[in-house]
Each structure stands twice: as C-alpha cells, then as structure tokens.
Homo-oligomer: A and B are copies of this chain.
Amino acid sequence: MSLRGAILGFLSVEPTSGYTLKQRFDGSVRSFWSVTQSQIYRELHALEREGLVEARTEPGDGKPDRKVYSLTEAGRAALKRWIEEPLEPLVLRHPLLLKLVFAADAPPKKLDEILARYAADTESQRAEYEARLVDPRIFELARSTREREIWRLSIEHGIAWCDTELRWIERARGELSSERAGQKRASRKAK
C-alpha cells in the first residue's frame, strides 16, 4: 500500500514514465523507501488495470518511446484516501542486532569487527545525508515551501538516525570490549 501511495504521490506532482519514477524514488525517498524497477512497472500495470492511472505513449526521438502515466480522477481520490488512512506500522528489520545476539560466543574480535564495519557504513550514510541537505536537486521537486520543509525534515531524520546508531555502536563496542563491564552491569539484575 505504501508503494502504491508513493507512486500516486509522485504522479500527482507531475505525470511521468516508469523509468523517471524510479529516478524520482532514488533521488528523494530512497533512504527510507527503496524500490526496484520491477516493482514500479508491476505496480503501474496494476494501477492502470484498476483505472487509477492512464498512460499515453510519447514517441522518443531516437530514444525508446516513453509511456507517461498520469492520475485519473479515481487515482487522485485514491491518493487522498491513502494519505488519510491510518499509518502502516513501522517495522524495523535490523540485521546487525539480530546477528549480534547470536554471535555472543564468537571471538570478541569478530564482534568488534562487525560493529566497526557497521559504524563505517553508518558514517558514510550520514555523509550522504549531509550532502543531500545542501543539494538543491532534492528540493527542486518541491512545489511549495511546506514541501521543501518536509523534504528537509526527512533528511534531518536520516542524520539523527545515523547519529543515534553511531552513539550506540560506540557504547556497545566499549562495553563489549572490557570483560569487566559485563559483570558490573549484570549485577544490577540481582537487586
């Protein structure tokens, strides 16, 4: 339902082709909603079958023809319904945490290595967000000040998430590297 909503959302800004739609996703919401090209084409076909979008073929000069999709009245209504309908619950799937809890008896070095690599990845993710924050291209799509404001907030959300991850990793590495720490903390449980 979220994918569908997002496609309708993008099309409400401007009619576009599947190909361009994929670029829109990648260029804006990728960090909190990634999609593959197959998903987009599949969903567009479904939306067309259901009459929520309609396509018209634009001849490409030299380039292949593009099928430009636009919202129908029904599509516009569906978008509105999607915005108003209750939020789908957030489901975190965090492979690091999962692996960590089963890697307790792996050599501490291995554990620290996993954490270090994740920290590095998170660091570079953070840098990407920072770069985005000053990249005007993301804000080009925005049709209003309010929309720009929201785009910016979404990027700041990413940065805040990275910072939290980094702080947590640091703590985890500290506590898991000192053999004492475990003992000390575990005694809390006894009281």
- Known interface pairs A102-B9, A102-B83; A139-B2 also in contact (CB < 8 Å): no
- Known interface pairs A149-B181, A157-B168; A106-B93 also in contact (CB < 8 Å): no
Copies of this chain, complex-wide, total: 2
Contact A34 B91 (CB under 8 A): yes
Identify the stretch in A54-62, A63-71, A182-190 within 8 Å (CB) of chain B at 4 or more residues: A182-190
Smallest Cβ-Cβ distance to A183: which chain B residue: B145
Residue of A91, A92, A118, A171 most packed against chain B (CB within 10 A): A92
Number of interface residues of A (CB under 8 A): 76
A47 contacts B by Cβ under 8 Å = no
Shortest distance from the beta carbon of A9 to any chain B beta carbon, whole Å: 3
Interface residues of A (CB under 8 A from B): 2, 5-6, 8-10, 12, 28-29, 31-34, 79, 82-84, 86-106, 110, 114, 117-118, 121, 136, 139, 142-154, 156-157, 160-161, 163-164, 167-168, 171-172, 175-176, 181-183, 185-186, 189
